[in-house]
Amino acid sequence: MEQFRKGDTVYIVESERIVRKGIIMKCTGGLYLLKFDGGGGTYVKRHRLYHSEEEAQGEINRVRKLRNPVLNYCDVRLNIGR
């Protein structure tokens, strides 16, 4: 797993629906301090960081499929009959 460093631009997923861009300000004890573009910041663990916006968006799509198995089943079932 590639490490992130101070000054790297990263992306995180908030509330399983929003991708936010931030810059790593420091790393201490496995926690990364992020500063967001629009102001503010937070500490997050490594598993919440992504290298690109597309990678973060892919995580949102993956979680949505896992959370809605009934909807996914219905979509597949409707498409088979056509």
What is the tens place of the pLDDT at every residue in 27-78? Answer: 998 899 999 988 899 999 999 999 999 999 998 888 887 776 665 555 555 5
Q: Looking at domain 9-80, does it have CATH number 3.30.420.40? A: no
Phi/psi region, residue 29 (left: phi>0; alpha: psi -120 to 50; beta: rest), is left
Residue 61 has what pLDDT?
86
Average pLDDT for 6-32: 92
Residue of 70 and 16 predicted with greater confidence: 16
Residue 65 has what pLDDT?
79
Residue 11 has what pLDDT?
96
- The domain locations on the chain are 9-80
Name the nearest CA neighbour of 22 among 41, 3, 5: 41
Residue of 60 and 26 predicted with greater confidence: 26
